[in-house]
Amino acid sequence: MSKRIEVADLPEFDAAHYLDSETAIAAYLTDILEANVRLCWHRRRGTLPVNME
């Protein structure tokens, strides 16, 4: 059986440490915006997949 991981026990994550170029920043922001649009679309339809939230 897998050990359950509590979110509160995870270290703080800051993506800024990995965004070392304008290309990386643009890709990160694009991914975040696209994911947010999909999440909002599913919430509005009431079809939120389990792994999206």
Asked if the model's pLDDT at residue 52 lies above 60, the reply is no
- Per-residue pLDDT, 50: 62
How confident is residue 51, by pLDDT bands cut at 50, 70 and 90? Answer: low
pLDDT, tens digit, 9 for 90 and up, residues 6-29: 889 999 988 899 999 999 999 999
Q: Are 19 and 28 in contact (CB under 8 A)?
A: yes
Which amino acid, residue 24?
A: A
How confident is residue 49, by pLDDT bands cut at 50, 70 and 90? Answer: low
Q: What's the whole-model pTM score? A: 0.55
**Which residue would you say has higher pLDDT here, 27 or 45?**
27
Residue closest to 28 by CA, chosen among 46, 40, 16:
16
